[in-house]
Structure 1
Amino acid sequence: MGKSMACLAVAILVILFLYCVNNVTSDTSDHRYKEGDHIPLYANKVGPFHNPSETYRYFDLPFCSPDHVEEKKEALGEVLNGDRLVVAPLKLDFLVDRKPERICGKSLTKEEVARFRKAVLKDYFFQMYYDDLPIWGFLGKFDGEGKDDPSLNRVYLFKHLHFEILYNKDRIIDVIVRNDSPVDLTDDKEVEVDFSYSVKWTLTDIPFEKRLEKYSQSSSLPHHLEIHWFSIINSCVTVLFLTGSLATILMRILKNDFVKFTHDDEEAVDDQEESGWKNIHGDVFRYPRYKSLFAAALGCGTQLFTLSTFIFMLALGGVFYPYNRGALFTALVIIYALTSGIAGYFAASFYYMLEGKNWVRNLILTGSLFSAPLFMAFCFLNTVALAYNSTAALPFGTIVVIFLIWTLVTSPLLVLGGIAGKNSRPEFQVPCRTAKYPREIPHLPWYRRTLPQMAMAGFLPFSAIYIELYYIFASVWGHRIYTIYSILFIVFIILLIVTAFITVALTYFQLAAEDHEWWWRSFLCGGSTGLFIYGYCWYYYHARSDMSGFMQTSFFFGYMACICYGFFLMLGTVGFRAALIFVRHIYRCIKCE
């Protein structure tokens, strides 16, 4: 099984690397051009600057649109990212300077003026691509502070675009766009607008291989790196101090317990009766309630952990370079589909360890435990996007493709993994026999119950990552570029270590209180960090962002709920696995009669 898993991992990485690199490229494979070659300018989308999910097609606004809009064929990840590229009616031929040229003249009606004015007041920006290089700009500007009352502002629409294109020999290095010639749209009346553009080509010595470095430099500036490293060092020092203190206390207590439990004199026996965790050796390995659900949660958590590992390997390998459109979404879809067999295998094998019988129901539960909430969230959010006529709404064809991937790849691999897990028939290795009747759990104070324990368990891992969370949120739900994946990987490792350790410590204290129902408790305590992350979402939305509107709010809290739920399953699995190793070890070190 180990060799098979290794081969599967290598195959997934090779497939993903080739797909992400080859399927998100420009129309010209080598990016080399001759003088006069036509290079299409793709208009992508427009939308409020502070609402990254609320985007619309470029020609939904009354710009100069061609008679026949030519759409660019896009990969799955690009569509999931909300990209809808169409060829813009501008001629940007290689090395051909253009003085201001008229695109078209339009007589904007009152309704069209109102639409442009509303867009400008909402800080609409546009996004274009030229030779796979991103181009941004704002539609206009306004003077004043009365966004809600247009009469308090002077609103202007930019009608001229000036492109300065930097080139090195036969390759394009950079594209800079400047807006000019504002036209006043303050008054509610018809306006004549001549949209125009100009092009200037400038020679540069920047090599083609470094043309994307400027997008990653923003996150690698010295003061940003200082903040990242300070947060990591601060997290490491705090975590090492707290975990070191807990480890010292825990090891001393365990050492004293082992000494007591290995003595044969009567005084030691009396101490043994007072101690606690040895007294429940006949119940500590009693199978938990809802075995099928527990096994399914472990299977899903293992799959999501594998998914995260592969994503980090691709990121550290340089696949997710800035503006590799849709590469991350493509990787997520493909990895999730290909690793479904891992979920089926671990869920079924653990379910059979717990002497489960209905493996078909367990597989159905495993396949739907994470995907079903994600599907329901998608259905609601896609309906909202359709109501807004946003590019965030997936086309019917893309939905069919995802359904086929789930039907032809995810489900068969889940079943095959389940069959492999069932046929492996592993035995649950325990050092103690389980008593016939369960021991009564003594009454515990409130701070030893599930919710307070979850609060304590989630706080320490969250405190180790919360500084880095801001940069992740600003990248995913904003326009900041994040490229320091090595630092993010270190933070991820710290998160796993702290989650495992704090779960082990709380499990020991639970067993010392003679509470033998540690299975679900360890899973819930390990996964509680996901709840803290979702709590941080509320803080970020209200205090650190300018997002607004029903659609953006729905997308932010809807998809973050799914992501945090995934973290809950993944970290819950890590916490339980660490606790299981710990419990097996301490009961193996003593004689249990």
Structure 2
Amino acid sequence: MAGRSCRNSIPVAFLVAVLFVLNPPTGVKSDSSDHRYKTNEDVPLYANKVGPFHNPSETYRYFDLPFCSPAHVKEKKEALGEVLNGDRLVVAPYNLEFLSNKDSEIVCQKKLSKEEVAQFRNAVAKDYYFQMYYDDLPLWGFLGKVDKEGKADPSEYKYYLFKHLHFEIAYNKDRVIEINARTDSNALVDITEDKEVDVDFMYSVKWKETDIPFEKRMDKFQSSSLPHHLEIHWFSIINSCVTVLLLTGFLATILMRVLKNDFVKYAHDEEAADDQEESGWKYIHGDVFRYPKYKSLLAASLGSGSQLFTLTIFIFILALVGVFYPYNRGALFTALVVVYALTSGIAGYTAASFYCQLEGTNWVRNLLLTGGLFCGPLLLTFCFLNTVAIAYSATAALPFGTIVVIFLIWALVTSPLLVLGGIAGKNSKAEFQAPCRTTKYPREIPPLPWYRGTLPQMAMAGFLPFSAIYIELYYIFASVWGHRIYTIYSILFIVFIILIIVTAFITVALTYFQLAAEDHEWWWRSFLCGGSTGLFIYGYCLYYYYARSDMSGFMQTSFFFGYMACVCYGFFLMLGTVGFRAALFFVRHIYRSIKCE
């Protein structure tokens, strides 16, 4: 057991090591690796990006707005995850030396042209915010405010630009613990009209001592770990568990009782006259293991779904060991790229092995289909959305160098591992284990009522798993498409386990009812029913966008629905694989339990 435990820990340790190389442990690497400073020593301050507060994907470089900028803007070298996250860090024009208090220091005196005034006014009207990092600590602030008081007509609104930024910094001995930035409501510049304006951009700094240890300086950002948030999360889990347990327990009781009666009935039939006519799911024992249509596509779907399931498990492991702490979100994108590349062999092995079990011959074409089944739609979506981001000059547009790096990872890691996995799967010589012989000609499926069709069954199959996770979906969406931080990965992992169990069980139940109706085409039906939860999640995307968020604009809308379509498609493949595997195990079990001539 000790040897097995050691072997199982090696892949996780390797993944953590790779992530730490591609994405340093600190979300924004400081110039001082130990974060210790002497009095009046420079502490790195980086300006990251600006953008509309309600459109998290629509962000721009800090100096795209006409702030006080140096002659040569010094950019910071970023990790892969930071670039994928849209971070574009540059040295900020503020000097915040360690323990150096300042009062109304002037950054620069600038005359804003009419075009620059209009640019700032447009930013203020859209609730633009800025984000910076000071010794790896994030800070935010708004650029200005809109005065709407007593004015019904938008043309009468007053627009003001904040010109004074006050930094409050807390320290413990020789380390920075906390930083807050607030604007002076009295230091305003009227930018309502298109005319030249003289602005003195200023800032002030105040240091104060605190007893908070350095190791806990990120705790303030873990808002989802606060008692009332934990109470809501646990309540949602308990609610989901009770609902799911009641429904699944009810179905399990019925299913077990019906199966027991079936086994008794079929055992009695075997002792009776041989010419007695069979009925129910035993009647189709000669057809239930007949290979499905489009078996290459089914095998490729199972391969991609298995890879995505493995990817999800590894991401949860990394989250539970603390890799994705607050404002190290770049690590998540790095992990997705690296782990997906390293697990591509699982997709190749699973697809090729299953395809060969179904007596498929063109395994090379099946392998190509497996490689492009998920990556193909993702690539098309990325090309379109990256073009949109380029047109908007947004930071979400990936630089050419980053695209080359991702292409090299795909060409040098993903594709070779996919091929090696496919060769291993082809040479595994595994046979499809069917407890019943398949007849030469298929039986005709009897006419069935409309609610036993594929779409109604998918709707029933997807509703129960979705009902178990929909409460938690809001917190995930608010984190990914908002400014909240999600940190309770243990609760999320419990919800994921519930999702897998419920998906497997509801697919098995519907498969039994399908076979009992003498419909032997269960292969694709089980996969579609298992994956139908992904369609419900995409339906929730529509609800969240229009009812729970204030996102707007073509770019943000495209990014939200484009990338969520890819995520939901991934859920469809993953949960479809879970449903099919559970149904296959169930079908083999019940037909192995009876005597089939």
Give the TM-score taking structure 1 as reference length.
0.97
Aligned match of 2:580 = 576
Is 1:204 the counterpart of 2:210 in the alignment? yes
2:593 equivalent in structure 1: 589
CA distance, structure 1, for counterparts of residue 402 and residue 458 of structure 2: 40
Matches within 5 A, 1:155-554: 155-180=159-184, 181-216=187-222, 218-264=223-269, 273-274=278-279, 276-554=280-558
Match of 1:97 in 2: 101
Per-residue CA distance 1:305-325 (angstroms, 9 max, x = gap): 000000000111111000014
In structure 1, the gaps of 5 or more residues are none
- Partner deviation per Cα, 1:33-73 (whole Å, 9 max, x = no partner): 11121112100000000000000000000000100000000
Offset, 1:285: 0.7
SS in 1 for 2:278: helix
**Matched letter for residue 188 of structure 2:** P
Retained in 2: the 8 A contact 1:272–1:278?
Answer: no
Map Cα deviations across residues 298-339 of structure 1 (whole Å, 9 max, x no partner). 000000000000000011111100001401000000000110
Structure 1 residue 184: Cα displacement: 1.2
SS at match of 1:177: strand
The letter of the residue matching 1:189 is K
1:16 match: 19
- Cα deviation for residue 223 of structure 1 reads 2.1
Cα deviations by residue, 1:482-538 (Å, 9 ceiling, x for unpaired): 111111111000000000000000000000011111000000000000000000000
- SS state at 1:167 partner: strand
Structure 2, unaligned runs of 5 or more = none
Structure 2 letter corresponding to 1:348: A
Supply the distance in 2 between the matched residues of 1:233 and 1:369 (Cα, whole angstroms). 36
Could you say which residue in structure 2 is the equivalent of 1:45?
A: 49
Give the equivalent residue in structure 1 for 2:132.
128
Partners of 1:414 and 1:149 lie apart in 2 by 61
8 Å contact kept, 1:159–1:193: yes
Aligned-pair CA distance for 1:221: 2.2
Task: Tell me how far apart the structure 1 counterparts of residues 150 and 439 of structure 2 sit (CA, whole Å).
Answer: 73
Moved more, 287-296 or 563-572: 287-296
Structure 1 CA distance for aligned equivalents of residues 431 and 180 of structure 2 = 64
The DSSP-based 3-state class of the residue aligned with 1:46 is: strand
Q: CA deviation at 1:370?
A: 0.1
Query: Which amino acid counterpart does residue 228 of structure 1 have in structure 2?
Result: H
In the alignment, the residues of structure 2 paired with residue 455 and residue 17 of structure 1 have an alpha-carbon distance, to the nearest angstrom, of 42
For residues 355-407 of structure 1, the C-alpha deviation after alignment (integer angstroms, 9 at most, x for no partner) is 11111101100000000000000000000000000001001111111111111
Check the 8 A contact 1:260/1:268 in 2, yes or no: no
Contact 1:137 1:179 in 2 (8 A): yes
Confirm or deny: 8 A CA contact 1:212 1:322 kept in the other structure. yes
Q: Could you say what secondary structure the match of 1:277 adopts?
A: helix
Q: Distance in 2 between matches of 1:2 and 1:592?
A: 42
Question: What CA distance in whole angstroms lies between the structure 1 residues aligned with 2:152 and 2:325?
Answer: 39
**Could you tell me which residue of structure 2 aligns to residue 80 of structure 1?**
84
Distance 1:287 1:146 in 2: 72
Structure 1 counterpart of 2:233, one-letter code? H
Percent of aligned pairs sharing the same letter:
79
Secondary structure of the structure 2 residue equivalent to 1:63: coil
The letter of the residue matching 1:430 is A
State the secondary structure of the residue aligned to 2:346: helix
Q: Is the 8 A contact 1:23 1:75 kept in 2?
A: no
Would the aligned equivalents of 1:162 and 1:199 in 2 still touch at CA under 8 Å?
Answer: yes
Coordinate RMSD, CA, aligned: 1.9
How far the C-alpha of 1:436 sits from its partner, in A, is 1.0
Secondary structure of the structure 1 residue equivalent to 2:427: helix
From the superposition, tell whether residues 306 and 327 of structure 1 become closer, same or farther in structure 2 (CA, over 3 Å): same
Whether contact under 8 Å (2:22, 2:79) holds in the other structure is no
Is this contact kept in 2: 1:168–1:207, CA < 8 A? yes
Determine the C-alpha separation between the residues in 1 that align with 2:590 and 2:9. 31
Cα distance in 2 for partners of 1:84, 1:148 equals 39
CA distance in 2, matches of 1:362, 1:478: 40
Q: 1:345 to 1:146 in 2, by over 3 A?
A: farther
- Contact between 1:349 and 1:418, CA under 8 Å: does it hold in 2? yes
Distance 2:490 2:151 in 1: 42
1:22 Cα deviation after fit: 3.9
| Alignment partner of 1:565 is 2:569 | yes
Q: Distance in 1 between matches of 2:86 and 2:555?
A: 14
Bigger mean CA offset, 500-509 vs 430-439: 430-439
Q: Alpha carbons of 1:203 and 1:6: their partners in 2 closer, same or farther (altered >3 Å)? A: closer
Q: What is the CA distance between 1:267 and its match in structure 2?
A: 6.2
Take 2:510 and 2:173, find their aligned partners in 1: how far apart are those partners? 64
Code of the aligned partner of 2:193: D
- Alpha carbons 2:466, 2:537 under 8 Å: kept: yes
Q: Alignment partner of 2:493: what SS?
A: helix
Matched residues, number:
591
- Equivalents in 1 of 2:341, 2:442: separation in Å? 41
Per-residue CA deviations over 1:71-129 (Å, capped at 9, x if unaligned) read: 00000000000000000121111111112111111111111111111110100000000
Q: Structure 1 residue 12: deviation in Å?
A: 3.0
C-alpha change, 1:93 and 1:120, in structure 2 (3 Å) is same
**Distance in 2 (alpha carbons) for counterparts of 1:281 and 1:257:** 14
**Alpha-carbon separation, structure 1, partners of 2:583 and 2:155:** 64
- Asked if the contact 1:145–1:152 (Cα under 8 Å) also holds between the matched residues in 2, the reply is no
Contact 1:38 1:92 survives alignment (8 Å): yes
Q: 1:104 to 1:6 in 2, by over 3 A?
A: closer
- Measured in 2, the distance between the counterparts of 1:297 and 1:206 equals 51
- Does structure 2 conserve the Cα–Cα contact (< 8 Å) formed by 1:510 and 1:516? yes
* In structure 2, distance between residues paired with 1:37 and 1:265: 89
